Structure 1
Amino acid sequence: MTEHGFSQINRQISRRRALGLFLGGAAQVMAMRAGAEGLIASPIPKARPPELFKQSIPAGEELVAAAGLSGEVSYAVAGSAGEIYEVHEPLLRLPPASVAKTVTALYALHHLGAEHRFVTRVLATGPVVSGVVQGDLVLVGGGDPTLDTDALAALAGKLREAGITGVNGRFCVDDTALPQIEQIDGEQVEYAGYNPTISGLNLNYNRVHFEWKRQGESYSLKMDARAERYAPDVRIARMQVAARDVPVFDHVAGQGYDDWTVAQAALGNGGARWLPVRLPGLYAAEVFQAVARAQGVRLPQGQRKVMSGTEVARIESAPLSIVVRDMLKYSTNLTAEVIGLTASRARGLSPGSLAASATAMSDWAREALGMRHVALVDHSGLGGASKVTTVDMVHMLSAPGVEATLAPLMKPIPMRDDKGNVIQNSPVSVHAKTGTLDFVSALAGYVDAPGGQRMAFAVFAADVPRREAAKAAGAEERPQGARTFNTRAKRLQQALIERWAEVYTG
């Protein structure tokens, strides 16, 4: 190879090396600059997207799966304008249990008015001479579902204030303001105090108080119409101890009496409970006779009869808005049935059964509240055959004017921690109506999130086949497994509310 050839090769190598050094130097400079930028930027992390934390919140379907509930679950939640946020099986038609009372509340308030009062009156068919009514005295019921023994005593006191001390004719009761309905739901156990007879004259929620105490080898038994101040004994409801194990209670409607027997094996050393009254008009007559006698007004034994006369005394219930508030708080079935029946009659209807009145209410709810899939069999929700969807409940709760009417009447539902303890000063506020039957748990109402967002919601859980099987087997008041079902359902309700309060915060 010539010198010229070596020189050419060396020049090519030098050029390549120079290019490599240049490129390498440029890369090093760029790397140094990038490193400098990295040193400047790395101590301050980039801001995360504002909604990133919500991605860690379990989805509703995950919460439903984790609840471990048999049967079916449905829920719906909507914003203040009624826009649906999320749903799960929204068109399932499930029993609402006592959540049905929210529909009844709106039905009664709409047709009767918030200031409506139930009136209980006393009429005289003749003049009063020397304190004695020359004719008959009539106790006329107005259907008041809140009437108790103390209120009847106040009514008797008004008779005494009017100078009446007795009657030379009959003492009658008129309980025809509403149709007499033997019981709310025929599937309940016979002795359930929450399943009484409905009448136009209702006293102590048509319940009688039964108390027993062991005395040697036998028991002392007491049946009374107790309230806060008065507790007169009653004879119209009678109890005998029977030498058996089951049924715990048995009832026979006698001639003018409610005859009960109780299994001796169930009594223990003592106890007390409320039993339903099946002859409410005569029950009220006996109690009125007793409290009147205590105030110096002598009356003969009462009898049922419709009569007209001159009003000599009256008492009124609290306004309907208060009656409804207490119904939603204490979930009194008799109150729901009475105000529902009264509202139907105010519309000019004449329902002869709870089912007929509830059907009229369901028709109204479809038209007035947009509840497309509602079909109720009573006004209280006690009947398991009632059906409604959660999305219909949310449509109702979001309907114009409903929140302003219903939310202030609903009771607060406390938020609880993992151990079931109430969370004090929780940022989440819930006002709702609960509903419970065997293997049915429901909750519907309003939740206020920490940012001020108010949402309407409904959560239903029901294992209808399991409920029907328990009824068919003749299960007692709480069949096996019902308590566990209810506990799991309530935990799911709370978990869903917590989710919504975080995801849809204002």
Structure 2
Amino acid sequence: MLPTRRFVLGGLLAGAATPLWAEAPATSPLPRRRGDGGAVRTELQSADQLIEAAKLGGAFGFVVADAETGAVIEARDADLSVPPASVLKSVTAAYALDRLGPAHRFQTRVLRAGPIVQGVVQGDLILAGGGDPVLDTDMLGDLAAKLAAAGIKGATGRFLVWGGALPRLARIDSEQPEFVGYNPAVAGLNLNFNRVHFEWRRAGADWRLSMDARAERFVPEVHMASVRIAKRARPLFTYESEAGTDRWTVASEALGKGGARWLPVRHPALYAGDVFRTLVAAQGIGLAAPEVVDALPEAAELVARHDSPALDGILKGMLEHSTNLTAEVSGMAASQAASLRASAVAMQEWARLRHGMSAHFVDHSGLGGQNRITAADMARMLADVQAGALPGLMKNYGMRDDRGKVIKGHPVQVRAKTGTLNFVSSLAGYISPPGGRRLAFAIFAADTARRDALPPEAREQPAGGLDYQKRARRLQSALIARWAVLHG
């Protein structure tokens, strides 16, 4: 299971589903071919007309350039510095590919600190993370099976868990709501994107609550995180850390008949150790309760290992699903810096020296609203790397019709990364007409004054936020259609 930034299920806590493209523009900026189900339209609105019709407010800038030469074809407020949101993940992907290489793999190891006698380790057993950002419960279950296949039956000493391969973050961005699953902790040992599955079901006059670490094949119960119902309407959740564990309360009036959502994990190494202990128990291996350590024991020897997929595949998944944890892990693994701030600065310096960018980065995912980049810098970087792996890793965004739906079989290909924060919407990537020249583009919209005015309790689903995104995305699609016709 691959939980995404916005993935929630059921109940009031999950929020309402609203069509993204409910309002369609009166006319299409894209000429329709005969036989496509409508009359041929040949009129094209100017960029200024499209921007005026969107009525976004705040700042708006774009650049479209020849991807091979980098020559700017059309631009508006190209040097306006705004939050890029998740478009920053495209920069992180290019950075990680450059520093680590597309074949890089992260290793999760089981080590022993002592000899093995009749299948029992005479000493400590250690689960040691290597920063794998896509490690899930099924993979951890397979690692448990490898341990059993190696003949291990238990350990006389402690069960240690080490997540020190990367700096530990309690959360990516302190300004986000406490309970959103897209803002988890990050460490050198991560599991299920450091999210725990919380489910509630009506049981008579009460509810049945559960927390698990589900994947496709394994659904182990989680012990280091718990939730209880509090009789109230607001806030939806409260959180506190107790003896290194996660303790949540949920508002009774928000539960409804039932549902589920992913909650962030704040102690990722302990979470992975908790789940691994359950998985090895199913293999007949008994271990003590997990203990998190800051350093690996000396002379520890390898017993079993899980290798992640290659980095290029991990980055492709990151760009498609916009997983913040993957971005932070990839960036910090590439920089090997001692903190997220230092790692962001290292990527910022790389972007300046390699691509002439004058950006300001505070993270690798774009979740922080203090990140800044210009459309000119973004388009320049995309042009610089267009002959490499990045274009093929970007999501097929597609050409879209008047209602924002992807036009199947359209000859123009669009590969791009979207970015969304409250009152921030960005899109950047490549347009490839058949037989024409590839274009690199970046579109940034941000109403930072409106964003900064939001109180913490309104940040998950602010009033007017969905309408802003709908307008911004219609404008983005209209501009892409215009450029495909005029400049492809």
Same fold flag (TM > 0.5): yes
Q: Which residue matches 1:299?
A: 287
**What whole-Å deviation, never above 9, does each CA across 1:293-337 have from its counterpart, x for those lacking one?**
111111111101232311111010001111111111111000000
**Counterparts in 2 of 1:473 and 1:171: CA distance versus 1, 3 Å:** closer
| Shift, 1:78, TM fit | 0.3
| Shift, 1:473, TM fit | 5.6
- Supply the distance in 2 between the matched residues of 1:475 and 1:375 (Cα, whole angstroms): 26
**Secondary structure of the residue that 2:445 maps to in structure 1?**
strand
Query: Does residue 263 in structure 1 map to residue 247 in structure 2?
Result: no
The normalised TM-score by structure 1 is 0.86
- Supply the distance in 1 between the matched residues of 2:218 and 2:418 (Cα, whole angstroms): 32
Q: Which residue matches 2:301?
A: 310
**Contact 1:143–1:202, Cα closer than 8 Å, also in 2:** yes
| Shift, 1:490, TM fit | 0.5
Between Structure 1 and Structure 2, how many residues are aligned?
Answer: 445
Q: Which amino acid aligns with 1:478?
A: Q
Q: Which residue matches 1:337?
A: 328
Which consecutive residues of structure 2, in runs of 5 or more, have no partner in the other structure?
1-39
Alignment counterpart, residue 323 of structure 1, candidates 309, 314, 324:
314
- Supply the distance in 1 between the matched residues of 2:219 and 2:308 (Cα, whole angstroms): 20
| Shift, 1:66, TM fit | 1.1
Q: Which residue matches 1:412?
A: 396
Structure of greater relative contact order (alpha carbons < 8 Å, 6+ residues apart)? 2
Alignment counterpart, residue 66 of structure 1, candidates 47, 53, 77:
53
Moved over 6 A (4+): none
The normalised TM-score by structure 2 is 0.89
Which consecutive residues of structure 1, in runs of 5 or more, have no partner in the other structure?
1-52
- Supply the distance in 2 between the matched residues of 1:451 and 1:56 (Cα, whole angstroms): 23
Larger radius of gyration: 1
**Contact 2:177–2:456, Cα closer than 8 Å, also in 1:** no
- Supply the distance in 2 between the matched residues of 1:375 and 1:162 (Cα, whole angstroms): 49
**Secondary structure of the residue that 2:309 maps to in structure 1?**
coil
- Supply the distance in 2 between the matched residues of 1:450 and 1:314 (Cα, whole angstroms): 46
Query: Does residue 444 in structure 1 map to residue 428 in structure 2?
Result: yes
Query: Does residue 504 in structure 1 map to residue 487 in structure 2?
Result: yes
**Counterparts in 2 of 1:55 and 1:92: CA distance versus 1, 3 Å:** farther
**Secondary structure of the residue that 1:474 maps to in structure 2?**
helix
Alignment counterpart, residue 354 of structure 2, candidates 363, 368, 382:
368
**Secondary structure of the residue that 1:213 maps to in structure 2?**
strand
Q: Which residue matches 1:483?
A: 466
| Shift, 1:404, TM fit | 2.4
Q: Which residue matches 2:226?
A: 238
**Contact 1:397–1:403, Cα closer than 8 Å, also in 2:** no
| Shift, 1:446, TM fit | 0.2
**Counterparts in 2 of 1:403 and 1:488: CA distance versus 1, 3 Å:** farther
**What whole-Å deviation, never above 9, does each CA across 1:380-419 have from its counterpart, x for those lacking one?**
00001100000100110111x4442210100101222213
Q: Give 1:425-440 correspondences, 5 Å limit.
A: 425-440=409-424
Alignment counterpart, residue 398 of structure 1, candidates 370, 380, 383:
383
**Contact 2:422–2:459, Cα closer than 8 Å, also in 1:** no
| Shift, 1:57, TM fit | 2.2
Q: Which residue matches 1:179?
A: 167
**Secondary structure of the residue that 1:222 maps to in structure 2?**
strand
- Supply the distance in 1 between the matched residues of 2:97 and 2:169 (Cα, whole angstroms): 23
| Shift, 1:422, TM fit | 2.4
**What whole-Å deviation, never above 9, does each CA across 1:137-195 have from its counterpart, x for those lacking one?**
01100011011111111111111111111111111011111111111001111001010
| Shift, 1:426, TM fit | 1.3
- Supply the distance in 2 between the matched residues of 1:287 and 1:421 (Cα, whole angstroms): 41
Alignment counterpart, residue 365 of structure 2, candidates 376, 380, 389:
380
Q: Which residue matches 1:36?
A: none
- Supply the distance in 1 between the matched residues of 2:418 and 2:192 (Cα, whole angstroms): 23
**Secondary structure of the residue that 1:497 maps to in structure 2?**
helix
**Counterparts in 2 of 1:207 and 1:186: CA distance versus 1, 3 Å:** same
**Secondary structure of the residue that 2:485 maps to in structure 1?**
helix
**Contact 1:201–1:280, Cα closer than 8 Å, also in 2:** yes
| Shift, 1:476, TM fit | 4.0
Q: Which residue matches 1:359?
A: 345
- Supply the distance in 2 between the matched residues of 1:391 and 1:434 (Cα, whole angstroms): 17
**Contact 2:175–2:456, Cα closer than 8 Å, also in 1:** no
**Contact 1:116–1:319, Cα closer than 8 Å, also in 2:** yes
- Supply the distance in 1 between the matched residues of 2:387 and 2:53 (Cα, whole angstroms): 32
**Counterparts in 2 of 1:263 and 1:304: CA distance versus 1, 3 Å:** same
- Supply the distance in 2 between the matched residues of 1:481 and 1:415 (Cα, whole angstroms): 26
More helix by share: 1
Q: Which residue matches 1:29?
A: none
How many percent identity over aligned positions? 52
Alignment counterpart, residue 87 of structure 2, candidates 83, 93, 99:
99
**Contact 2:181–2:264, Cα closer than 8 Å, also in 1:** yes
**Secondary structure of the residue that 1:381 maps to in structure 2?**
coil
- Supply the distance in 2 between the matched residues of 1:65 and 1:185 (Cα, whole angstroms): 33
Alignment counterpart, residue 120 of structure 2, candidates 118, 129, 132:
132
**Contact 1:450–1:501, Cα closer than 8 Å, also in 2:** no
| Shift, 1:369, TM fit | 1.2
Q: Which residue matches 1:389?
A: 374
| Shift, 1:72, TM fit | 1.3
- Supply the distance in 1 between the matched residues of 2:42 and 2:363 (Cα, whole angstroms): 43
**What whole-Å deviation, never above 9, does each CA across 1:115-158 have from its counterpart, x for those lacking one?**
11000011111111111111110110001101111111111111
- Supply the distance in 1 between the matched residues of 2:88 and 2:250 (Cα, whole angstroms): 33
Alignment counterpart, residue 211 of structure 1, candidates 175, 182, 199:
199
| Shift, 1:423, TM fit | 1.3
**Contact 2:111–2:302, Cα closer than 8 Å, also in 1:** yes
- Supply the distance in 2 between the matched residues of 1:239 and 1:261 (Cα, whole angstroms): 5
